[in-house]
């Protein structure tokens, strides 16, 4: 199943627009970019930005003997493909300036200017620009950089998450999100957390997991347990053992 923002993102990338996918951790941004590359039948390349990412990582460099050492970006620029700049807001803003010429159809590499291949596509991901107090080491992107991307807000997709985990796991994750929201907590429970809970359930290792997810907050945990207590015993009508079980399940779904 694809993210509910897939169609919009796909059409923009297909048209050749550089696209910035912005959203909370674990909202499916990177997966969405990979799905778009697959849909376009383009080879997928990516680089994860950090404070240590230099121009050489993006553009390649000239060796001491004057030979150009290439990069993934150079390959995509010449041969086509989808290049993902993951966590772009974790990189050095000065390094990102080298991408400013993309809208003009070229990139200046150490050994010369390269006209972009007709199938060159650029996608970037970032955390929400108004929530960097929750993401250590992230920078607010400057207006000039943002202006070069068509921005799509990638919110949480419940329906996609339900396809990744069992319904009972989803209910527990959803209950925790509601508990955190009731206390205006800034903690984000991601799809990765749902998958981790699912995997732990299979291994019988769920004890203490949700307490860590909520930041070891006793009040939030108490509210979460209240939500769990109101959940039906069964999630499938065929598994209901009594009329009361069926009645409880149907009332919950409505």
CA–CA distances in Å: residue 65 to residues 62, 69, 74, 188, 245: 8, 11, 20, 50, 76
- List the alpha helices (DSSP H) in 60-107: 72-79, 93-96
Angle at 134 between CA 128 and CA 137, to 5 degrees: 85
Rounded Cα gap, residues 239 and 252, in angstroms: 15
- d(C-alpha 12, C-alpha 120), whole Å: 13
Extract the residue ranges of the chain whose pLDDT is less than 70.
129-140, 232-254
Q: Which domains does the chain possess? A: 6-153 (3.40.50.300), 158-253 (no CATH)
pLDDT of 241 reads 62
Q: How far apart, in Å, are the Cα atoms of 183 and each of 16, 101, 187, 190, 221?
A: 43, 46, 10, 18, 11
pLDDT digits (tens, 9 = 90+) for 179-234: 999 999 988 898 889 999 999 999 999 999 999 999 999 999 999 999 998 876 65
């Amino acid at each position: 199943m694809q993210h509910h923002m897939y169609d919009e993102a796909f059409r923009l990338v297909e048209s050749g627009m550089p696209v910035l996918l912005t959203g909370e951790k674990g909202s499916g941004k990177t997966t969405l970019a990979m799905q778009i590359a697959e849909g376009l039948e383009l080879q997928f390349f990516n680089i994860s930005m950090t404070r240590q990412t230099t121009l050489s990582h993006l553009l390649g460099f000239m060796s001491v003997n004057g030979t150009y050492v290439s990069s993934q970006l150079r390959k995509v620029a010449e041969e086509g493909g989808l290049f993902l700049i993951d966590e772009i807001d974790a990189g050095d803003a000065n390094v990102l300036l080298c991408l400013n010429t993309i809208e003009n159809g070229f990139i200046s590499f150490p050994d010369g200017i390269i006209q972009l291949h007709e199938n060159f596509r650029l996608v970037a991901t970032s955390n929400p620009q108004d929530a960097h107090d929750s993401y250590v080491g992230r920078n607010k992107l400057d207006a000039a950089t943002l202006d070069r991307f068509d921005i799509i807000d990638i919110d949480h997709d419940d329906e996609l998450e339900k396809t990744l985990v069992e319904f009972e796991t989803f209910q527990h994750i959803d209950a925790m999100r509601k508990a955190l929201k009731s206390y205006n907590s800034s903690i984000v429970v991601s799809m990765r957390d749902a998958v981790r809970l699912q995997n732990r359930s299979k291994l019988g290792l769920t004890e203490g997991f949700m307490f860590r997810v909520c930041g070891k907050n006793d009040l939030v945990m108490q509210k979460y347990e209240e939500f769990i207590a109101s959940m039906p015993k069964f999630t499938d009508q065929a598994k209901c053992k009594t009329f009361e079980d069926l009645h409880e399940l149907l009332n919950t779904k409505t």
